Chain A
Amino acid sequence: MLILFASTLKEMIFPPFEIKNTFKQMQEVGVKSVPVVIITAVFTGMVLAFQTFTGFKRFGAEALVGTVVALSMTREMGPVLTGLVVAGRAGAAMAAELGTMRVTEQIDALETLSTSPVKYLIVPRFVSSMIMLPCLTIIADMLGILGGYAIAVWLYGMSSALYWRRAWNYLEMNDIYGGLAKACFFGAAIAIVCCYKGFYTEGGAEGVGKATTGAVVISFMTILISDYFLGAWLLK
């Protein structure tokens, strides 16, 4: 996997650049993931607000709902949930598509037509994942906070001004940047893991199935494990 990562970086630097393919992948990875990210983020924000409000009410700290939702979404839930959604949706598609191309000899065909499969297939997926994950995370952060607002203000009757003041007062730019940096890393990790599993698929339809499952499971594990270490490093 490290060799594939190194080849991807090398092919990314030297022309020709796969601009058309990269835009196509940005649509696949980013634009088409927007509806799922919206639903996931809104409901996560709602759940956070609901649990925080009912829990914090026991010791009279329910005014901090906005703070908890904003910090949770920007630092953790936004990037991690977006990463998991993209890994499950676009990552699985990457592994399945490349796996099918491998077992039907389409990747060999690219080679025979003097085209580097790493440059043509993997670099656009890698670049687009690294760009689109932070974009999706921004959407998730905003909508999660709005979901929390809906519960805190509309359901529990909290003051709208108080929610926003608490949300912004304790939020630092580093929380947002750190979350986006994590999202960028998750994007790179998802692309490399899923492309690797697809690119080296063996054994026909069964192999494609195994590669896809393996790609999603390893991506999930990578996101969750690296989230701790990245969080400890970037968001002290």
Chain B
Amino acid sequence: MIEVSGLHKSFGSHQVLRGVDLQVGDGQSMVVIGGSGSGKSVLIKHIIGLLKPDKGSVSIDGEDITGLDSRHLYEVRKKFGMLFQGAALFDSMTVWENVSFALTRSGMKPKEAKEVAVEKLRLVGLSGVEDLMPSELSGGMRKRVGLARAIAHQPRILLYDEPTTGIDPIMADAINDLIIKMREELHVTSVAITHDMQSAYKIADRIAFLYEGNIIETGTPEEIKSTANPYTKQFITGSAQGPIKIEGVELKGA
């Protein structure tokens, strides 16, 4: 269970999160939607403890992680796997070394770790790439390898940072299918952040809309589709006209 309460975070004078509350139940798939710069990445980085909040708390299975020292935080993070927007693969390592990184760090022998890596790669639909370097992979393949790395140590919670950004629509749909497969086969709790509504509707049990540092609406995909909230409505329809103003842009008739 992930519980975010009253989360505030500022960078200098720029207030990014202004009291975010969010709950994600075990086995649930929560998608946080929001525009660029709305604080989605900052929120997900708080959930895994990469950032410390100015105020508020993040609890994982009832344990508040905001005050933990780095040693305890590393223990909590073993529950997590994270897929980064650009996959964040380690350039200096081969694909299998990337995937098995957490395993070899925890003492698994390289031969055994490679076998696990090959199995995880097969699970995300890749085979025969284990000895390649990340620079030899396409964008979609990098995402899959990133996902294989995220699941290699069998985490209970998976975090996805913009999983479909920067890849073509067909590959994006394949990644969505993989996210659903991970949830169904591995029974993980997942939190994804995205502004891709097609992806959000497909992978979410619940969707939360983050606007100006607050979650202003939460609901099932169906509830979000039929929302009466003008802000959410404008965002999900992708209209330039509405209460959400584009910073620095004057629109005719707006």
Q: Would you call A169 an interface residue if the criterion is a C-beta within 8 Å of the partner chain's C-beta atoms?
A: no
- Complex: A186 Cα to B221 Cα, angstroms: 59
Q: Which of A37-45, A104-112, A158-166 contacts B (4 or more CB under 8 A)?
A: A104-112
What string of 1s and 0s marks CB contacts (under 8 Å) between A117-139 and chain B?
00000000000000000000000
Contacts of B88 in A (CB 8 A): 104-106, 108-109
Contacts of B90 in A (CB 8 A): 101, 106, 109
Chain B proximity of A36: nearest CB distance (Å): 22
Contacts of B78 in A (CB 8 A): 114
- Complex: A156 Cα to B53 Cα, angstroms: 71
Q: Which of B79-87, B125-133, B204-212, B243-251 contacts A (4 or more CB under 8 A)?
A: B79-87
Contacts of B80 in A (CB 8 A): 112
- Complex: A111 Cα to B45 Cα, angstroms: 11
Contact B74 A106 (CB under 8 A): no
Chain A proximity of B134: nearest CB distance (Å): 10
Contact B70 A116 (CB under 8 A): yes
Q: A105-B86, A106-B89, A106-B91 are in contact. List 12 more A-B contacts (CB 8 A).
A: A104-B86, A105-B85, A108-B88, A109-B89, A111-B50, A112-B77, A112-B80, A113-B105, A113-B153, A114-B74, A115-B74, A115-B102
* Chain B residue nearest to A113 in the complex (CB): B102
- Complex: A132 Cα to B89 Cα, angstroms: 29
* Chain A residue nearest to B51 in the complex (CB): A108
Contacts of A114 in B (CB 8 A): 74-75, 77-78, 102, 105
Chain A proximity of B129: nearest CB distance (Å): 19
Complex partner residue of A109 from B70, B74, B75, B82, CB under 8 angstroms: B82
How many B residues are at the interface, by size bracket?
20 to 34
- Complex: A115 Cα to B88 Cα, angstroms: 15
Chain B interface residues toward A at CB < 8 A: 45, 48, 50, 70, 74-75, 77-78, 80-82, 84-86, 88-91, 101-102, 105, 149, 153
Contact B86 A116 (CB under 8 A): no
Identify which of A106, A113, A116 gathers the most chain B CB atoms within 10 Å of its CB.
A113
| A side interface size, CB within 8 A | 13
* Chain B residue nearest to A7 in the complex (CB): B70
Complex partner residue of A112 from B50, B86, B89, B91, CB under 8 angstroms: B50
Chain A proximity of B191: nearest CB distance (Å): 13
The 4 A-B pairs at the shortest CB distance, nearest first, are namely A109-B88, A105-B88, A114-B74, A112-B82
Contacts of B85 in A (CB 8 A): 105
Chain B proximity of A127: nearest CB distance (Å): 18
Contact A115 B45 (CB under 8 A): no
- Complex: A109 Cα to B84 Cα, angstroms: 8
Contact A111 B77 (CB under 8 A): yes
Contacts of B50 in A (CB 8 A): 108, 111-112
What string of 1s and 0s marks CB contacts (under 8 Å) between A71-112 and chain B?
000000000000000000000000000001100111011011
- Complex: A109 Cα to B149 Cα, angstroms: 10
25 A–B contact pairs at CB < 8 A? A100-B91, A101-B90, A105-B85, A106-B88, A106-B89, A106-B90, A106-B91, A108-B45, A109-B82, A109-B84, A111-B48, A111-B50, A111-B77, A112-B48, A112-B50, A112-B82, A113-B77, A113-B101, A113-B102, A113-B149, A114-B74, A114-B78, A114-B105, A115-B102, A116-B74
Contacts of B89 in A (CB 8 A): 106, 109
* Chain B residue nearest to A107 in the complex (CB): B88
* Chain A residue nearest to B161 in the complex (CB): A105
Interface of chain A residues 195 through 210 with chain B (CB within 8 A): none
- Complex: A100 Cα to B134 Cα, angstroms: 14
- Complex: A1 Cα to B47 Cα, angstroms: 27
